[in-house]
Amino acid sequence: MVAELQQQEVHPNKNMQHGLDLWDRVREYDERSAVEDFTTVLTRKQKQKIKLQQVLAKQPTKTHSRGGTHQTAP
């Protein structure tokens, strides 16, 4: 792991400090994961978007029910 010479800021608000500490841990995790063989986990929104793209890709481009040049008997 690469040693960093940055001095961590300490925020007077304990909630803000907790958030800063959390982001530091996330960055460290991302760095470790980039080195290892890492499988990304998709969010629910990303999964829905991929599923929608797959469904749209399977749909036919033209159908008779969408009003083509269909003639009916008089």
- CB count in 10 Å sphere of residue 37: 5
Integer CA distances (angstroms), 1 to 17, 27, 35, 71, in order: 24, 12, 10, 72
pLDDT in tens, 12-33: 788 888 889 999 999 998 888 8
Is the overall model pTM greater than 0.85, yes or no? no
- Quote the pLDDT of residue 27: 92
CA nearest to 43, candidates 35, 34, 51: 51
For residue 48, give the amino acid letter.
Q
